[in-house]
Structure 1
Amino acid sequence: MKTLLRIGLGLVVLVLALVAVAFLLPRTYRVERSTVINASPAVVFAQFGDLRAWKNWGAWQERDPGMKMTFSEKTTGVGAWSAWESKSEGNGKMTFTAVEPAKSVTYRLEFPDMGMGSEGSMALQPADKGVKVIWVDAGDLGMNPMGRWFGLFVDRMIGPDFEKGLSNLKRLAEAPPK
């Protein structure tokens, strides 16, 4: 009986220690990836400035071609949104919150199943041979200790998808016109 009590007490101490450490972890996260694309800003922006075009290069759509997509009436400009349902990629919604034509889009991501959201952007900067595309996602993990631990892995989870998407975007934008 003493052994079980010690094990139980040890587990309680461990859980309390993990919760206490969680509050020392960062409350926010930021994932950023970039690539240079040998194409005009207008050509590149057309691929991420219209929500319908994301299916042509996005890593998530590539992994689940059967993803059910829904779009707002207009798919460009502030207020445009897309929503998706996917067994493998989850459910969510993206809404453009700011748009500078041929320069950048800022968006809000919502993941209702996980009770999470984030802010993201894709921006173009001049580069020697074309444009540099910078893709960022950032979020607040709140006071939830599990969210804080989750934050340690966000870059490793999302970063490769950003890299794959940017690689696809580069291939698409640099392809000769049909």
Structure 2
Amino acid sequence: MKASLIMLVSLLVASAAVVFGSFLLPDSYEVRRSILINAKPEQVFTYLNNPTKWEEWNAWNKEYDPTMIRLYGGPITGKGAHQEWIGDRVGTVKVHFTESTPPNELYYKQLTKGEEFETIGIFSLEPQEDGTRVVWLQKARVADDLYNKYKGFFRKLKSEAETEQSLLTLKTLLDPAAKEDSEAQIANRKGRS
């Protein structure tokens, strides 16, 4: 009897912590990552401004989801260009380029099926002495309820990892030295296996 009471009290305390913890979570999140790429802004922007080039560097690709299908529409590049991803893991995602200022900035809106709010994305390219700093900012809102606030928290963590992976792939695609370093790291890992 005493053990049952302790279990019941523990369960109530844990439930209360989950509910009250949701009040501390924000109803929006932001992911900002940057990387320095040894290439000119014009070279980098080519891979961002054309939705058909995204599959070469974006973390959401055929390796991540072998069932993935990509659809494209609008102009080939710039404002109005759009793409849609459909797959078992990625779900249905639509990305629409809303503003394009070559080779400095690209704005887009991303809507995932089943999500109430869209994600706003911005790529900013800053010329540097040794290449281009690419800053990728994503902002999203989540519904103001217990389930969606926790879902948004975990989605932010996943988005941070995917953003970093995408930027690293973009860097290795454009920066020959980074590609050689990446290939050497892979060879070293295989040699240790």
TM range (shorter): 0.7 to 0.9
Tell me the residue number matched to 1:18.
18
Deviates most, 160-169 or 39-48: 160-169
SS at match of 1:160: helix
- Taking structure 1 as the reference length, the TM-score comes to 0.85
With over 3 angstroms needed to count, the CA separation of the structure-2 counterparts of 1:99 and 1:47, relative to structure 1, is same
Tell me the residue number matched to 1:31.
31
The structure, 1 or 2, with the larger RCO (C-alpha pairs under 8 Å, 6+ apart) is: 1
The aligned amino acid for 2:104 is: K
- Alpha-carbon distance in 2 for matches of 1:175, 1:51: 23
Structure 2: gaps of 5 or more residues: 178-193
Tell me the residue number matched to 1:147.
148
Q: Do residues 164 (structure 1) and 168 (structure 2) align?
A: no
Tell me the residue number matched to 2:138.
137
SS at match of 1:69: strand
Deviates most, 74-83 or 28-37: 74-83
- Alpha-carbon distance in 2 for matches of 1:12, 1:37: 52
- Taking structure 2 as the reference length, the TM-score comes to 0.79
Tell me the residue number matched to 1:86.
87
- Alpha-carbon distance in 2 for matches of 1:151, 1:88: 17
- Alpha-carbon distance in 2 for matches of 1:54, 1:159: 17
Aligned positions of 1:29-178 closer than 5 A: 29-61=29-61, 62-175=63-176
Give the number of the structure whose residues are more often helix, by fraction: 2
RMSD: 2.5
Number of aligned residue pairs: give it: 176
Structure 1: gaps of 5 or more residues: none
* Fraction of identical pairs, as percent: 30
Deviates most, 29-38 or 116-125: 116-125
